[in-house]
Structure 1
Amino acid sequence: MTAHAHDNFAVVSSDSDQLILVNEHDEELGLADKLSCHDGQGILHRAFSVLLFNERGEMLIQKRAEVKRLWGGFWSNSCCSHPREGESMTYAAQRRMSEELGLEAKHLTYLYKFQYHAQFGDIGAEHELCSVFIGRCDEQAKPNPHEISEVRWLSPEALEHELETNPDAFTPWFKLEWSEIQNKFKAQLEAEIAGLV
């Protein structure tokens, strides 16, 4: 994977971005702009989430920039976005990590795919078929302020504590992903952290 050029102050997303519409079987149905995909109840589209861990087993979490239309100011997983038409999910995930965090994971492991719907009041909704990846990264993040206001590395124990005591501070998709990983994918996560994959 070739590293993508990183400009910390580049605007890397807009409401006119074309997202890939899919059905529940992840079959492509066409394209629609990002604004339309997140209006009202949302339109089901393809997405991905990345959870990055360092050698100590800590996870990189990000606070979404306040200017974001949906869940601005909420804590979430390391990186999430949408693939462009013609991109593989892995390539899209690496591209977005570079754009948002100035990072490149040496390896990403695909875990699973899930469909969810989350309503953000009357502002809009996320309605995504989301592919979840984990990866190992020991570099220092360089957050793009258009996307991220803050980043932190947290141990699983500290993250669990925050999720239990202040769940409303986190995005709904991240809470679903973390629960699923803890329940079904701990062995893969431990192998990723140990550098065995």
Structure 2
Amino acid sequence: MSSTSPVVTEYVVLVDDAGHSVGTALKSIVHTTSTPLHLAFSCYVFNSHGDVLITERAHHKKTWPSVTTNTCCGHPGPGEDLSDAVVRRLEQELGIAATSVRLLLPDFRYRAVMDDGVVENELCPVYGVLYDGPAPRPDPAEVARANWIPWSEFSQFVSDGGTVSPWCREQMPLLRGLGDDPSQWPSGSSADLPEAARSVGDLD
């Protein structure tokens, strides 16, 4: 007799323009042509050699399939700390056990529209992770490809107009503004996170 894994129903945290929580929505149906503003995160994983782990999104993803992007993105669930959500998604998508999660851009926000009209609309703090562990093991349901490349090379690629996800493109000049060496970037202040992220532990 075979057993199957239980289906997990995931929710995202909806927010207003000021960053306050205004409820939740099913993750499976939130991305439409009128996607409400919601809480998310982006993560860049670096190694001690100054390389960044770049991924190609799975070919069947609803938003920006097959597009080159930063290491990992995702959504915290109701009541989940953003740093914990970063750790969870890195393990799920890439088999990476993150132990060092650092806030970089606490108040990043973007809105982007695909050719088919589907909208991404997120308050999306950006995190950095230092990782020198075993090789990533991408989950093909999420990630088609993952490669380490020098940060300077990726930064130049984006600066020269290389095709990446819209959120990655908008984040890159802000990250470059922190300095040339990611290991020396200053940490962002948690006080500058959206209110919904600062009080996420209090959400219903």
Q: TM-score, normalised by structure 1?
A: 0.83
Cα RMSD after superposing both structures? 2.1
Q: Which consecutive unaligned segments of at least 5 residues does structure 1 have?
A: 1-10, 193-197
Partner of 1:157: 152
TM-aligned CA deviation for residue 35 of structure 1: 4.1
TM-aligned CA deviation for residue 41 of structure 1: 3.3
Partner of 1:103: 96
User: Distance in 1 between the 2:155 and 2:79 partners?
Assistant: 37
**Cα contact 2:14–2:39 (8 A) shared by 1:** yes
Q: Which consecutive unaligned segments of at least 5 residues does structure 2 have?
A: 186-204
User: Distance in 1 between the 2:35 and 2:145 partners?
Assistant: 27
Partner of 2:119: 125
Q: TM-score, normalised by structure 2?
A: 0.80
**Cα contact 1:50–1:133 (8 A) shared by 2:** yes
> Which of 138, 141, 155 matches 2:136?
141
TM-aligned CA deviation for residue 189 of structure 1: 2.6
Q: Is 1:51 aligned to 2:30, yes or no? A: no
- Give the number of aligned pairs: 178
Deviates further, 117-126 or 71-80: 117-126
Letter in 2 for 1:100: E
Partner of 1:115: 109
**Cα contact 1:36–1:42 (8 A) shared by 2:** no
TM-aligned CA deviation for residue 171 of structure 1: 0.2
**Cα contact 1:40–1:124 (8 A) shared by 2:** yes
**CA offset digits 1:140-186 (Å, max 9, x no partner):** 1000000000001111222133224453x310001111210101x22
**CA offset digits 1:23-57 (Å, max 9, x no partner):** 12221100112244210032100000110100111
User: Distance in 2 between the 1:178 and 1:113 partners?
Assistant: 14
User: Distance in 2 between the 1:80 and 1:36 partners?
Assistant: 17
What secondary structure does 2:112 align onto? strand
Q: Is 1:42 aligned to 2:35, yes or no? A: yes
Q: Is 1:25 aligned to 2:18, yes or no? A: yes
What secondary structure does 1:173 align onto? helix
Matches within 5 A, 1:173-192: 173-183=167-177, 185-186=178-179, 189-191=182-184
Which entry has the higher C-alpha Rg, 1 or 2? 2
State, as a whole percentage, how many aligned pairs show the same letter. 29
Partner of 1:78: 71
**Cα contact 1:37–1:44 (8 A) shared by 2:** no
TM-aligned CA deviation for residue 188 of structure 1: 8.1
1:135/1:176 CA distance change after superposition, 3 Å: same
